[in-house]
Structure 1
Amino acid sequence: MKKFILSLFFSVILILPALADAQTAGFYIKSYDYYAYLGKNKVMTVQETIDVEFIDRRHGIYRSLPEKFSAYRYDGKNERFMEYKQEYSSVSTSPDKNTTDAESSVFTIKIGDENKTIIGPHTYTIKYKCVMYDDRIDLSDFFYYSPLGAYWETDIEQFNFRIDFEEPIPADTQFELYSGNIYSEANGLNVDCHYNQNCIWGKANKIPEGNAITLFCELPDGYFVGAKKVSPFWTYLCGILSLASCLLTFFFIIKAKHKSPVQTVEFYPPNNISAAEVGFIIDNEANDSDLMALYPEWAQKGYIQITEDKKKVLTFTKLKELPEDAPEYQKILFKKTFSRSKNFTVKNISSSYISELEKAKESLHDAFDKERSLYEDDFLSLGLLYLCSFMYTLFLCISSPVSRWDNLYLCMLVIPFHVLGSILNKGFYSRYFRQIKPVIKTTLMILFCIFMGGVSYGAFQETEFQVPLVVVYVLSVLY
């Protein structure tokens, strides 16, 4: 009698965790029989019989099925991380009716009646078809499937499965079985599994909630015939729109930068335009030659005198000061030229003169910012450029035939590059940073290329169509 009581005590202790999980879910599964028939077209016809014990009153159960999965595949050269899609159809349940829902890549069969509750034992029969897509690898086919998914939030006392093959598998086929949590790479549930050329079957007991059983095997190329293929429509459409947006952006930028001014017959520049400004107008850039053109102009206006000795060395002699309303860049150059004496010889150029020359160029450039801008405002061209780059990132992300919506967050990652581009191109660094602007742009280019490589990597797993577009995109953003 004491032995019986002791045995009963330990039995209760061992079953308490299972009862706790069952009470949380309101039910547990006593027996789960899974049967499937795998056709040559990679469509599985499935029937599941589930014996449920309801501890609390419930309206029914949910059967959740994954709509996509990922796997590493060898394409003959490299191991590629591939994502695949699955679809479900022809769903029927008994004895209770069902509704279906698809959200976050999970297809859910809701079985039960909202006007009816169940307690105690209840048996469900679920039938459906699972359409698995073509693997997109010419080297081989493969079978990867989970007869028991990890979506059950209760314990399963006994699970049996069997999958029959329409086409016998090769005799040397080796199945791999993974069981346990979703990250398990071993048979953590000690599933008893067997297979031959016509079917694979097995069973497992005492399966905790959130555990799965997954089967995998490599098959010769051509084993599956007529498997559903992912439509390339979105990929090609996105590619065409991406290329079109890049070309359109190029067109507007070039048009804005090279817009021809109205030509008038002039022998001298207008009174309010200096020789240095004329040089800037020609190429939209302040350089040494633009500023050197000021000396003949000053001589013509009587501010300086230019003489040349026998060795053809030029000497500038100061005659009078520039007017108070002279542009800042002219004052900088004039003051530095005659900072030591009234005479300045070209051969006596010092490093400090070169430094002041750079400041004068900065000032000349600033003189044409904002209201004196020679070209159309950068807002249009930059706006189109950033719209183009965002569109391309969007198209690149959604063109993946499987995970197009999961990758949309990548579009947001391109925004920091747009902000940096705006800062560099809108003249916020007009004085202090302009000298290191090429270094900043080069660094940005390197970082952007690394970024685009990461963004594009996912698309490369699906199609090679995007490769030339990445080059066009990078060039357009860094133009």
Structure 2
Amino acid sequence: MRSPRFNPVFLLLWLVPVLAQAQDFGVDHFSVAIELHKEGYFEVVETYDVEFFSPKHGIYRDILTSYTIRAADGSEAKRQIRISDIKVPGHKFEASGNFSQRMEGNARIKIGDPDKTVVGPIHYEIRYRVDNAFLFEEDFTRFYWNLKPSDWVAPFKKITFSVILPEGVEADPDQVFLYAGPVGSTSPTGEFGIRIAGGTISGTSREGFGSNYGEAVTLLVNLPKGSIAEPGRLWLFWSGYGWVPILLLLAGGFYKVFLKYGKDDPSPMVVTYFPPENMDPAMVGFLINDREDTSDLVSLLPYWGNRGLLEMEEVEGEGWFAKEDILIKKLADLPAEAPGYQKIVFDGLFHGGESEVRVSSLKNTFYLTMNMAKKELAGAAQKYYDPKARRVYWFTGGGIVLALLVLLPTFFNFWGVVAVLCALVLGVALLILNRHMVKKNPFGVKLYSELKGFRAFIKTAEENRLRMLLKESPDYFETTMAYALAFGALKQWAQKFENLDVAPPTWYHTSGGFRSMHQFSRSFSSTMERTSTTLVSSPSSSSSGGGSSGGGMGGGGGGSW
């Protein structure tokens, strides 16, 4: 197979921007001095003798802080080093903080004055501390650092370095490796003279040496095991997973508060056959699950129909391809003592003196009325709840939000994105659960026991029992169907009366009438589903919208600006 033909145009397109930047300045002499500390960090002093060929503000130095470490067994692990205590004596500079290093995976030191430019020779000195960069292997502790990283957009003519080992530690010459050249070069370089003496490793590039963009100088030293303090297991767990116990404490604290202020006192179920006196199905639906559902307010329609306030009729839709519609006719006004949420819905249906309304005409508009009624219903229900629980609800919700505001940047700073995502998930889950921080008062608990029993009866009632109830109260089905709707069991409830010779309600009809309870239950259940969907619909919104050269830590580079 023929090898691809070399195309100099592609090489030129790659070289032009690199050479253009490289021609702005060069590094006549670069020196780096590193002091290793047995506590597990090292300090770096970099000095640059720079020659600017055109006016520039200064230089910038980039140091990679996020790495993927490959172990001897082939497994990989993420490593985040930290650059701190940054100093640039004699020059203005800006430096990335710990948060920015986490976010960007890079520490940038930008040196120079934005209001001034320089030309000619300039001397720079950069000092910083590096934490969490030693590699702890089974037999060695490795110092693996790019003395000169590969992404410097400038030629380096001379490089010197020195590495001071911790007191009492001597380097084995057979365990010191220096690599230079294009990234990936695995053969130790011969372009440096290296000296190992008195606990110091030093080196100087030979005459004629040069290092350009894409080339690195990397030092690998295998230090004796134990010469650098290795983090203990507890510290390793904390540094990797310290966010876990914090989130567990947060969840445990919430659970403890919930047990006291959110969980209702024991309420044994009391089976009843009728809804509570003087309580409409909207309030019943709210109390059974502690929230204002759409079905709670929609259940007022059959409730009002049974009381002679309105009637509903299936009619043909307007237009050629319109679906069947529901016409709601007003027969009487609400009683003056009706609760506020009933008045909001009723007046919203028949506003402006109208006596009838098509359900289809409420699409994308009536949701505002429903939202107002939901708030009013929730307010009216508070007389059944412990007022302390309501206050705890607000305090707990605020506490969760405040905790997230503190924990999210802290977690990102110390543990990264995974910890932040887990904290977000837990925070959202707790805020959702906090909605149930609504403990009922003794009267509410007693009422809840009855409602549970009534709901259970609606779901499990036997035909013989219903037959007896119909003898006592012939309109039993009509008086209970609205409550079954609030419980989400209307269809199931209506089906239980199919064999009991019960006439469908007269306030709901079609042009053809209903021949059976079965026919009515199917029709009315479907109507209520469509009506519920329409009453809460809102306008839709749209949007767019080994080792090798360059293989160690300390990757990055720099340039001029």
TM-score, normalisation: structure 2: 0.41
**Is the strand fraction higher in 1 or 2?**
1
TM-score, normalisation: structure 1: 0.46
